[in-house]
Amino acid sequence: MKNMNETRERLRGIFNITVTPFNSQGNIDFAALQENIERVIGLGYDGILIGGTYGEFPTLSVEERRELFTRVMSIVGDRVPVMLCSASSDPRVVRELTILAGELGGLPMVTPPFVTEITDAQIISFFEEMAPLSPTGILIYNAPGIGITLSPAQLEKLADIDGVVGIKQGDLTPTVVDQIANRLGGKVRLFCASDLVFNGPMLAGFDGISTTNSGALPELILATYRAVEQGDAHTARDLHSLWYSYRALARQHGQPQLVKAAMALRGFNGGAVRAPLKPISDSALAALREVMNTLAQDPRSGVTLA
């Protein structure tokens, strides 16, 4: 992507949140990362998101994040849009990574500063500083899990900032989704931040979703999304129901831990998680194996096991 107009045009659809695979020495496994990227692009995903919350960015050094951005953009080129998470509690890091992401042709994804006692005015000032740094614009990630939840009224003000091309919405309360879709739809691109409950936001008028569990279930989640996109609510409902038991485990044991374990069961190399995260327990793995076996027996899922 070269500029904000091209970014807006291409910023829609289903984006795989690519996990960051770590090898046994704790380093990023770039060969595995490339395999996982090529898999989802080959299946027809509309874009990818790199180094996000489920990409374990808080555990990565600034140097690792620079290399991650550069390597990924070299792999992907201009084949699909790439969101590059430049979030940090340190605005100096956000500035550096936002500039780099835009220079590389990616779309920087920026969260509010996750510090205490910050005011609404200071949040707006922060995004006013970051938005002009990237020629492709920025994507604001409203991520309640990180610490600050932006209200619909705040998001409406932020959407007026030049350079803000989209919002990835993590607060998926139905009334909030309804307000955002109707106040901001058509003004900026709207992305649902969770594949666990994306049907509602898409039907409300969102432009796309980002999905972590598509690392493990890429065929099933893609088919579900395409059904929603085509207005086939009946098929979308049935496909989404197929992986309810998986979603229950994901909510219980956490992402990306479960995603990486499920990827391994399929013969995909998701690698290890990095501390403070830990691999899922033996009992959780046994439950996951049972769920994946059940999915593999249903041809609609597309799941095959190693």
- Active-site residue, from 168, 225, 246, 260: 168
β-pair partners for 15: 47, 210
24 lies in some domain: yes
Q: CA–CA separation, 118 vs 130, rounded Å?
A: 17
- Active-site residue, from 45, 54, 141, 225: 141
**pLDDT-based confidence at 234, cuts 50/70/90?**
very high
CB 184 within 8 A of CB 168: no
DSSP label at residue 54: G
Q: CA–CA separation, 102 vs 95, rounded Å?
A: 11
- Which domain, by its residues, includes 207? 4-246
Write out pLDDT tens, residues 100-132: 999 999 999 999 988 888 899 999 999 999 999
Kindly report the pTM of this predicted structure: 0.97
Question: Stretch 240-260: mean pLDDT, rounded?
Answer: 96
112 lies in some domain: yes
Nearest 5°: the CA angle 262, 221, 175 is 115
Q: In this structure, what CATH number is given to the domain that contains residue 141? A: 3.20.20.70
Run of H or E residues at 238: helix 233-242
DSSP label at residue 81: -
CB 133 within 8 A of CB 99: yes
Is 141 known to be catalytic? yes
Q: What is the pLDDT of residue 116?
A: 80
Give how many domains the chain has, as a whole number: 1
Is 2 known to be catalytic? no
- Checking if the pLDDT of 160 tops 90, the result is yes
Identify the CA nearest to 75 among candidates 38, 27, 32, 28: 38
Write out pLDDT tens, residues 7-43: 999 999 999 999 999 999 999 999 999 999 999 999 9
Question: Stretch 147-156: mean pLDDT, rounded?
Answer: 92
Tell me what percent of the chain is helix, strand and coil, each rounded to the nearest 5. Answer: 50, 15, 35
288 lies in some domain: no
**pLDDT-based confidence at 73, cuts 50/70/90?**
very high
CA 81, distance to chain mean position in Å, is: 13
175 lies in some domain: yes
Q: What is the pLDDT of residue 57?
A: 95
Q: What percent of the chain has pLDDT over 90?
A: 94
Q: What is the pLDDT of residue 6?
A: 95
